[in-house]
């Protein structure tokens, strides 16, 4: 058995994820699949005696959505499932908690343990470690990838949301991270490993949102 993590471009809603899953149903040897339009990702486990990653990627590319990259995660650390919803999340560096959590929740973090973010858009859990969970409202700011968040912050370092990117693109004609953050902030900062709740760099998502508003 092999497990790969795919980056899939072009998905915008839950029915896009379903469409990708339907493509995969046409193949033999797929053991498990989880496609998430919110994170533009897919995690697929398959019997590599029956099907190869090249065939999987080619099959997805036959549809509307394109695979932008993949990673073999067969031997990667096992990411435990979120105890609230049962979906597997993603590892977050413990460095993100200080700036993102309300003090009462920050106090509960055991820095010797690994913590994971639940990326399921409808689950109310933000982070977990074993059975320990931190709810979405344990954070100082909202998580853009949760469907119930009202403010869709894209750049957490400079506190710039989706709406502000839209204004910068459509009314100011700006289209790069530098131009847009510079338009809103005197001195834009970039410390995603501390300020972004996922610990990941926001630039990919940022550019994607810019592109969405560009035409
Ligand atoms: Zn969850």
pLDDT score of 215 more than 80 = no
pLDDT score of 76 more than 80 = no
Query: What is the average pLDDT value for the chain, to the nearest integer?
Result: 93
- The larger pLDDT score, comparing residue 137 to residue 48, is at 137
Structure tokens at 74: 């067969």
Residues 73-82 have a mean pLDDT of 81
Residue 41: strand pairing partners: 7, 36
Task: Quick: pLDDT tens for 9-43.
Answer: 999 999 999 999 999 999 998 888 999 999 999 99
Domain boundaries of the chain, sorted by first residue: 2-72, 79-148, 151-215
- Distance of alpha carbon 177 from its chain centroid, rounded? 19
User: How many A from CA of 30 to the centre of ligand 1?
Assistant: 24
- CATH code for the domain defined by 2-72: 3.30.70.100
The DSSP symbol for 28 reads S
User: How many A from CA of 86 to the centre of ligand 1?
Assistant: 6
User: How many A from CA of 62 to the centre of ligand 1?
Assistant: 31
- The larger pLDDT score, comparing residue 201 to residue 189, is at 189
Structure tokens at 69: 């990259």
User: How many A from CA of 128 to the centre of ligand 1?
Assistant: 8
Q: At 49, is the pLDDT very low, low, confident or very high (cuts 50, 70, 90)?
A: confident
The full DSSP string for 146-177 is: STT-SS-EEETTTTEEHHHHHHHHHTT---SH
Domains 2-72 and 79-148 share a fold: no
What's the confidence (pLDDT) of residue 77? 64
User: How many A from CA of 35 to the centre of ligand 1?
Assistant: 15
- Residues near 103 by Cβ (< 8 Å), separated by ≥ 6? none
What's the confidence (pLDDT) of residue 73? 85
What's the confidence (pLDDT) of residue 174? 97
Domain 79-148 annotated CATH 2.20.25.270: yes
Q: Which of 19-23, 71-75, 146-150, 155-159 has the lowest mean pLDDT?
A: 71-75
Q: At 148, is the pLDDT very low, low, confident or very high (cuts 50, 70, 90)?
A: very high
Residue 101: strand pairing partners: 139
- Distance of alpha carbon 122 from its chain centroid, rounded? 13
pLDDT score of 111 more than 80 = yes
Q: At 169, is the pLDDT very low, low, confident or very high (cuts 50, 70, 90)?
A: very high
User: How many A from CA of 189 to the centre of ligand 1?
Assistant: 30
pLDDT score of 107 more than 70 = yes
Half-sphere exposure of 146 (CA within 13 A, CB side): 20
């Amino acid at each position: 058995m092999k497990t790969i993590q795919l980056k899939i471009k072009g998905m915008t809603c839950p029915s896009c994820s379903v469409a990708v899953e339907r493509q995969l149903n046409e193949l033999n040897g797929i053991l498990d699949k989880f496609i998430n339009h919110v994170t533009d990702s897919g995690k697929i486990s398959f019997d590599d005696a029956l099907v190869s990653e090249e065939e999987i990627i080619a099959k997805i590319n036959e549809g509307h959505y394109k695979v932008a990259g993949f990673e073999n995660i067969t031997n990667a650390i096992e990411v435990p499932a979120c105890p609230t919803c049962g979906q597997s999340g993603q590892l977050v560096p413990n460095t993100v908690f200080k700036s993102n959590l309300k003090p009462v929740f920050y106090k509960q973090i055991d820095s010797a343990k690994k913590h994971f973010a639940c990326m399921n858009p409808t689950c109310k859990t933000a982070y977990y470690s074993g059975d320990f969970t931190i709810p979405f409202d344990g954070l100082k700011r909202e998580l853009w990838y949760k469907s119930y968040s009202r403010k869709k912050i894209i750049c957490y370092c400079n506190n710039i949301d989706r709406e502000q990117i839209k204004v910068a693109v459509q009314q100011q004609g700006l289209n790069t991270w530098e131009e847009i953050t510079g338009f809103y902030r005197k001195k834009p900062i970039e410390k995603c490993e501390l300020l972004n709740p996922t610990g990941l760099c926001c630039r990919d998502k940022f550019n994607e949102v810019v592109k969405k508003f560009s035409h």
